[in-house]
Structure 1
């Protein structure tokens, strides 16, 4: 649940930092991690790999929190009005003046947080269900669906990938920096879906998955995508969203079931949030570059699910 890049945009039009140079990741050199899709793949085939954004996993959490804040202060707002209407001192002039000062002041105080909460709410709701990343190995291009609905297209080999500190303390993430012609100024930044603590085997696993796909293709990666996300051209179902939240605790099944009473209402908010959002659509030029051969053996998506080896003919 790291919101760096969503609540506050990544800094751009700035020099590439020394740490970003020090922690640069090479597109042509394997990292120390084993590749893992980490529940991020929407579609994979011989033409392109499409992943979700890092905000998709906990979609609905910000809406739930801000919705609670709005309801809390709305209740306080209504309570003050009720007091004003029912407890107004009709006979005591001194108390009337005090009351007339107290009520407007109270209304102002309880109403201040509501615009801020609405601002946070609109960061997640009434936007897009997700913000996909498309890695096209046939053209060597990376396509990024921006938060405002526009797209960025940049050559894979020209992106400066680096480990950067995430917003959450002690966590890191892989960011792609689009640089100026002199390779020293950051013009734009996007981020891969996964973030993890330094030293975690999962920190570079998703990066290695993407890197290996772009450099070597999908052959050795196909069976690593066992649970593709069925969100390419539709909103997720309620149960799919609930299962996606539960999956964050899959390493500890008992904890997942203990958390389920909290995750279930969050899944309801997530479902409502998704239905306020539009489904992202790639521009025609991006779609034209992403045509897939119907006979492609390396397709993995909702229409081409994973089949365990023992069930294959």
Structure 2
């Protein structure tokens, strides 16, 4: 799990770095990777491709960790308070004063930890269920749902895509940098859903999937989209969240089986977290540019794929 861009925002209003120039990913140049959706597609059709964000797969983990920290501190403080109250009648004045001072000292030391935990908790809970990216090939625009609920719309060909180091050590991710008119200053940054090690064949696979869609269309990508995330206009169910967590370990079925006892309670926390979050909604102007035909043969989403009627002889 990598929270770069969520807990600490990407640096903007800065010059484009030499590394970002060196690791530039041109939209018109195919990479060596095979296109792969990597369980990130919410909707795909002839008009647009919509993907989830990189924080979505591990949604609920930060809430679980911070919730446990808050519960642990609360348990320790309440235990000390109960013990003090129980012993209160049998201790002298000096011992009572020492008991009060000890409890107050514990509260003072715990307060910064609790405040920090609540700050992390607010980064994931009480926000949005996910932060979608929409790539509209008909208009040539990319729409980004920001963390604060506003949206960014920028032409596909004007984005400087590059490999950047992720927050996790030895991992990299594909970021899209919105540049100033002089093409040298980074005004805003967003990230594609997948991050991986430099040697991983999956590092550029999703980038190639998005690039192929925008440059060549969805025809050759249909086999990659056998499964979509049914979260465009609804919160996921408990079972859906558990399966999404299990999908993280899909390349190692045995590991997924071993992890399932831990993922089950995490999926419950994830479900609760999702219930505190709002469902993202695109502005009317974005939706107006995203109209699709009900007979679109390349449509892949929660609806059944369009099947052309059979011609009668």
Partners in 2 of 1:270 and 1:98 — Cα distance?
42
Q: In structure 1, how many angstroms separate the alpha carbons of the residues matched to 2:86 and 2:24?
A: 66
Matches of 2:125 and 2:96 in 1, distance apart? 43
| Alignment match, 1:127 | 127
1:89: how far off? 6.7
Q: Which residue of 1 aligns with 2:177?
A: 177
Show the 5 A alignment for 1:79-228.
Answer: 79-88=79-88, 92-228=92-228
Q: Which structure 2 segments of 5+ residues have no match? A: 308-313
Question: Is the partner of 2:219 in helix, strand or coil?
Answer: coil
Matching of residue 246 in structure 1 with residue 246 in structure 2: yes
CA distance in 1, matches of 2:146, 2:295: 31
| 1:113 Cα deviation after fit | 1.1
Deviations 1:41-99 (A, max 9, x none): 00000100000000000101111101100100111121222233222376634334433
Q: Does the Cα contact within 8 Å between 1:33 and 1:201 map onto a contact in 2?
A: yes
How far apart, CA to CA, are the structure 2 residues paired with 1:255 and 1:94? 56
TM-superposed deviation, 1:30 = 0.2
Deviation at 1:296, TM superposition (A): 1.1
**Structural RMSD (CA):** 1.5
Please tell me whether the aligned partners of residues 73 and 111 of structure 1 are also in contact (alpha carbons under 8 angstroms).
no
Equivalent runs, 1:230-269 vs 2, <5 Å: 230-269=230-269
| Contact map agreement 1:89 1:95 (CA 8 A) in 2 | no
How much has 1:161 moved relative to structure 2? 0.3
**TM-score under structure 2 normalisation?**
0.95
Answer yes or no: is the 8 Å Cα contact 1:135–1:214 preserved in 2: yes
Shift of residue 237 of structure 1?
1.1
- Aligned residue for 1:18? 18
Which runs of no fewer than 5 residues in structure 1 stay unpaired? 308-313
Q: What's 1:285 paired with?
A: 285
Aligned length: 307
CA contact (8 A) 1:173 1:192 kept: yes
Tell me how far apart the structure 1 counterparts of residues 162 and 247 of structure 2 sit (CA, whole Å): 27
